[in-house]
Amino acid sequence: MTQVKATVGEVLRKRLEDKTATIAVVGLGYVGLPLVRSVHDSGFRVIGYDADDTKIDQLRRGESYIRHIGNELASELASSDRFEPTSDAGRLADADAILLCLPTPLGPHREPDLSYVLDCTKLIARTLRAGQLVVLESTTYPGTTREEMQPILEASGLVCGTDFFLAYSPEREDPGRDIDRATIPRIVGGIDAASTDLAAILYRHLVDEVLTVSSTEVAEAAKLLENIYRAVNIALVNELKILLSAMDIDVWEVIEAASTKPYGFQAFYPGPGLGGHCIPIDPFYLAWKAKAMGHTTKFIELAGEINAHMPEHVISQVMIALNDDGKPLRGSRMLVIGIAYKPDIDDIRESPAAEIIELLQGGGASVSYHDPHVPAFPKMRDHDIDLSSVPLTAATVEASDCVLIVTDHSAVDYDLIGKHAGLVVDTRNAMARVKNPSARIVKA
C-alpha cells in the first residue's frame, strides 16, 4: 500500500498541537518579552530574537530591562533549556512559527513607519522554508499583512497557504496591569483558511479563548477600533473636563456618578494628554490609510486635536494657580510627580510629561521631577530633557512653589505631598485619596 505523504501544513499542525514546534518571538520589548513568557510557560521551545545585542546579553545573564516585568522571569528564562535568546536572524530558520512584535511608530509627518516590520520581513524571507507560520502582532492599518508582508515573503518563491502560512493577531498587552494574560481573548485572522487555522492552534495553547475572524484585515481593523475607541472617549472627557471646570463642576465626581449606570456607559478619565506607544499613534495609522483612499476620519482628527492640546491646558492651569498665590511661572520652582505615561510602569514613550516639562522650562520655571520608576529622563525622539528623579521628601516638597501631578504612580506618598506642599495641581485626581490635606489642591 502506498503511503500518502503529509503536507507541510499537516506536519506543522501536528507540531503545534503536540507542542514539539519551536516558536520564535521577534522584538523582545514591552509586547515581545511577556509573549515569550506565555509561549515558554505553555511548554514550547522558544527562540527570542531581537536586533538589540544589549537586550540579548541581559537576557542571557537573567536580567530584565523592563522594570515591571522584573528579574524573576529573566532568570527563569536564562536557566531554561527551552529558551534561546539571540540577535542572529539566521536562527529564525529553525522556528516553525515566527511571531513579530516590532515597533510601528509614526514618521515625521504622522505617516505609518513600517520599516521595522518590513525590514524584518525581508530578513525572514531570506531563510523562509516550507512549513513555517509567520504572524504579525504589531498594531498597523488594515492591509499591512496581505499587501506589504505577503509579497515580500512570496518573493522567496514559496506560496502562502500551501508552502508557508501568514496571519495577523493583535497583541492586547497592557503593561503594568496585573492580569492573567491567558484570560485576555485573542483575535486571529489569516491570509487564508489554512493560515487562520494554524495560528489559532498555536494561540489556543496561550490563551483561554481564541476568536478567528475572516481575514487579516478584520483582525487589523479590530485592534485599531479598540484603540481609536479609547482615544476618542478620552478626548471626550478631556473636553468635558475643561467645560465642567469652567462651570465649577468636578468632572471626576460626574464620571463616578455616571459610572453607576450598569449598561451603556463605560468610564474614561481625563488626564494631562495621551502617552504610550498605542493610543497617541495607532489611530493615525487608520487616518493615513483613509486619506490614501480619499476618505476622512473626523473623529480621529478631532480626538487627536483635543488630546494634543491637554499639556497646554495643564500649563495654563498651573499659571492661574500660581497667579492666585501671587507668583509668576517665571522663576517658580515646579516639582513634577510622575513622568511615565501611565501609573506603575517605567515607559515614557510619548509621555505628555516631556512636553509639559519643556513648556514649564520654556516659561522660565525651574523644574525637578520625582518618579519612582524612572530614575533619569531618557532621551526621546523629540525631547532631550536633562533631569534625574529627586527624592520625594518633606524638604523637596516644601521647597516647591507648585507640585504638579502628571502620573499617579501608586508608590508615591500623596499624604506627604498633601502635608508639605503649598499648592498641588493635580491632573489625575490623585489627591482625592488624601484626607484633610493642608495643601491647596487644584484639579487640572
Ligand X SMILES: NC(=O)c1ccc[n+]([C@@H]2O[C@H](COP(=O)([O-])OP(=O)(O)OC[C@H]3O[C@@H](n4cnc5c(N)ncnc54)[C@H](O)[C@@H]3O)[C@@H](O)[C@H]2O)c1
- 369 touching ligand X, by CB under 6 A: no
- Active-site residue, from 120, 160, 278, 402: 278
| Known catalytic membership, residue 160 | no
Residue 206, amino acid = L
Tally DSSP H helices, then E strands, for the chain: 14, 13
Nearer to ligand X, 50 or 163 (CB): 50
Cα–Cα distances in Å, from 109 out to 288, 308, 365? 10, 15, 31
In this structure, what C-alpha cell is assigned to residue 437?
A: 490635606
What DSSP letter does each residue of 323-365 carry, written as one string?
Answer: HHTT--STT-EEEEE--SSSTT----TT-HHHHHHHHHHHTT-
Grid cell locating 311: 499639556
How far is it, in rounded angstroms, from Cα 228 to Cα 279? Answer: 7
Q: How far is the CB of 111 from ligand X (least distance, A)?
A: 15
Q: Does 104 bind ligand X (CB under 6 A)?
A: yes
Q: Residue 28 interacts with ligand X (CB under 6 A)?
A: yes
How is residue 338 written as a grid cell?
510622575
Q: Does 58 bind ligand X (CB under 6 A)?
A: no
- With respect to ligand X, which residue has the nearer C-beta, 115 or 162? 115
Residue whose CB is less far from ligand X, 49 or 203 = 49
**Span near ligand X by CB under 6 A; candidates 21-29, 76-84, 406-414, 435-443:** 21-29
**Which residue, 217 or 401, is less far from ligand X as judged by CB?**
217
For ligand X, which residue of 45, 146, 277, 342 counts as binding (CB under 6 A)?
A: 277
* Three-state secondary structure call for residue 97: strand
- Residues present in the chain in total: 444
Site residues for ligand X, 112-171, by CB under 6 A, read: 116, 119-120, 138-139, 171
Q: Which residue is nearest to ligand X (CB)?
A: 29
Interatomic CA distance for residues 168 and 219, integer angstroms: 7
**Per rule CB under 6 A, is residue 48 in the interface with ligand X?**
no
Q: Which residue, 27 or 304, is less far from ligand X as judged by CB? A: 27
Q: Can you tell me whether residue 161 is helix, strand or coil?
A: coil
- From residue 52, give the alpha-carbon distance in Å to each of 23, 58, 398: 19, 10, 43
Stretch that binds ligand X, among 48-56, 70-78, 326-334, 424-432 (CB under 6 A): 48-56
**Contact indicator for 396, 420 with CB cutoff of 8 Å:** no
Q: Which residue has the cell 502628571?
A: 406
Residues in contact with ligand X, total (CB under 6 A)?
26
For residue 214, the minimal CB distance to ligand X (Å) is 22
Question: Should residue 289 be labelled a site residue for ligand X when binding is judged by CB under 6 A?
Answer: no
Is residue 173 at the binding interface for ligand X, with CB under 6 A as the rule? yes
Under rule CB under 6 A, residue 34 binds ligand X: no
Q: Is 426 in the site for ligand X (CB under 6 A)?
A: no
Cβ distance to ligand X smaller for residue 128 or 421 = 128
User: Does the CA dihedral 269-274-276-282 come out positive or negative?
Assistant: positive
> Which residue number, 198 or 345, has a Cβ lying nearer to ligand X?
345
Q: Which DSSP letter does residue 314 get?
A: H
- Provide the minimum distance between the beta carbon of 142 and ligand X in the complex, in angstroms, as a whole number: 14
What beta strand segments (E) does 112-252 contain? 133-136, 165-168, 186-190, 210-213
CB of 177 to ligand X, least distance (A): 10
Q: Around 334, how many Cα atoms within 13 Å sit in the side-chain half-sphere?
A: 33
Place of cell 509573549: 35
Taking the complex as a whole, the smallest distance from the CB of residue 97 to ligand X amounts, in Å, to: 16
- Report CA-CA distances (Å) from 105 to 281, 295, 339: 7, 22, 20
- Write the CB contacts of 423 (distance below 8 Å, at least 6 apart in sequence): 321, 322, 325, 401, 402, 403, 439, 440, 442
Among 9, 27, 270, 418, binds ligand X (CB under 6 A): 27
Q: Which region among 24-32, 228-236, 362-370, 376-384 touches ligand X (by CB under 6 A)? A: 24-32
Residue 52 binds to ligand X (criterion: CB under 6 A): yes
55 part of the interface to ligand X, by CB under 6 A: yes
Is 165:12 a contact under the CB 8 Å cutoff? yes
Interface with ligand X includes 29 (CB under 6 A)? yes
Q: Which is nearer to ligand X, 37 or 370 (CB)?
A: 37
103 lies in the binding site for ligand X (CB under 6 A)? yes
Residue 282 CB, nearest approach to ligand X (Å): 6
Binding site for ligand X (CB under 6 A): 26-32, 49-52, 55, 101-104, 116, 119-120, 138-139, 171, 173, 175, 277-278
Known catalytic residues are: 278
